[in-house]
A = this chain, B = another copy of it.
Amino acid sequence: MLRLGARSGYDIKRAVDVSTRFFWTISEAQIYPTLARLEEAELIVGHDASQGKRRKRAYELTPDGERALLDWLEDTGPLLFEVRDLGLLKLFFADALEDDAEALLGEMRDRSSRELENLRAQQGPASELALSSGNQFPFLSLRVGVAVHEAIIEATGEIAAEIKAR
């Protein structure tokens, strides 16, 4: 995130909230200790950037940090893919429900619609970032998220139609 223009912990938090949180969440309480740890390891350097009496610490990558980022990106270890989907979990057991599976499918559909809205709202800013700084992948990765939720909406719609037909 520092590489993409974020400077402070607060910047990182806001950036995550509108971008990577769709496929990798972190909480605020993780950010500040992590920045301290990275500075200790000399992968980033921080300096005071307080404005008036409001304190602020701005960080940037060191050459070692840049190297570590690249090593991580180039690492060919297994690409963890983990989903926790309460909707699908309930759907799996929905035979116990007798009738209300349709309501559940509707909720899943609504949930993905809302997520689609959020994702699409981020595509504008992300494509501006692509034009202004040449970083095109934040925009491109949002497209995968869009495709996933479109697929969920389609599949749940089909299933709802089928069980209604019976």
Binding site for B on A (CB under 8 A): 3-4, 19-20, 22-25, 66, 69-70, 72-74, 76, 79-97, 100-101, 104, 107-108, 111, 115, 134-138, 140-141, 143-148, 150-152, 154-156, 158-159, 162-163
Question: Are the CB atoms of B152 and A148 closer together than 8 Å?
Answer: yes
A-B contact pairs, 25 of them (CB 8 A): A22-B88, A23-B83, A24-B83, A24-B89, A73-B96, A73-B97, A73-B104, A74-B97, A81-B84, A81-B85, A82-B83, A88-B144, A88-B145, A91-B141, A93-B137, A95-B134, A95-B136, A101-B137, A140-B162, A140-B163, A143-B155, A144-B156, A147-B155, A148-B148, A148-B151
Chain B, residue nearest A94 (CB): B137
List the number of copies, as a whole number. 2
* Other-chain residue from B79, B83, B108, B138 in contact with A22 (beta carbon distance below 8 A): B83
Question: Are the CB atoms of B23 and A137 closer together than 8 Å?
Answer: no
10 closest A-B pairs by CB? A151-B151, A147-B155, A23-B88, A80-B86, A23-B85, A79-B87, A82-B84, A94-B137, A95-B135, A147-B151
How many angstroms from the CA of A101 to the CA of B145 in the assembled complex?
A: 17
Give chain B nearest CB distance to A105 CB in angstroms. Answer: 9
